[in-house]
Amino acid sequence: MNYKPITISFKATMLILPLGIIAWYSGNAFIFPSLGPTAYLMAVEWKSKLSLREVLGGHICGVIGGAISYFWLVSPATMINLSGLQSEAGLQIALGAGLAIFLTSVLMILTKTSHPPACATTLILSLGFLPKIYDGFIIIFAVAVLYLLYHFLFMMIEKANKNRNLNERG
């Protein structure tokens, strides 16, 4: 039987679940849509070890790009005002999304922190789903916690594999 799909799914779940519990307990957005793809990448690319610089740096770029876009273009519009065809609010949101992706991409390329899920983070902020500056800090903190969980889980599994290999030889 091929256990790879179960193993990958279990790892991704173990990375997200603690953040879900923190979100439930604190009432803050410690889980958000772009965290899922990050956890999945961590689970799939287990052996290549994603770098903290790419993961956290990419999401920081996403927060910066999304926040600039939201506060400069979108905030007066909000998704609630997106009611009619060709509305001014709809145009603001469309332009804001484009600006957010542009800024995030430029920042990730310049800082060498390319992490595709960060483009979802930038849209979450720029579209006003998490509109407060405080939310940006929670996103960055949640990504840092996710990376710590990844590192801790990775180290535990590698140590268990090493011990298993030693026991099989000895």
Domain ranges for the chain:
53-147
Range 155-161 average pLDDT? 81
pLDDT at 67 over 80: yes
Side chain identity at residue 15, one-letter code: L
The whole-number pLDDT of residue 48 equals: 73
pLDDT in tens, 107-136: 999 999 999 999 999 999 999 899 889 999
pLDDT at 81 over 70: no
Residue 86: other Cβ atoms inside 10 A: 6
- Give CA–CA dist 47/19, Å, rounded: 23
The CA dihedral of 43, 44, 49, 51, to the nearest 10 degrees, is -80
Higher-confidence position of 74 and 49: 74
Give the CA diameter of the chain.
72
Q: Report the b/e string of 19-55 with b at 16+ CB within 10 A.
A: beebbeeeebbbbbebbebbbbbbbeebeeebeeebb
pLDDT in tens, 89-109: 788 889 999 999 999 999 999
Structural tokens at position 15: 């990375």
CA distance between the termini of the chain = 27
The whole-number pLDDT of residue 29 equals: 93
The whole-number pLDDT of residue 30 equals: 96
pLDDT at 4 over 90: no
pLDDT at 159 over 70: yes
- Provide the residue count of the chain: 170
The per-residue DSSP string of 6-39 comes to: HHHHHHHHHHHHHHHHHHHHH-S----TTHHHHH
Range 146-159 average pLDDT? 88
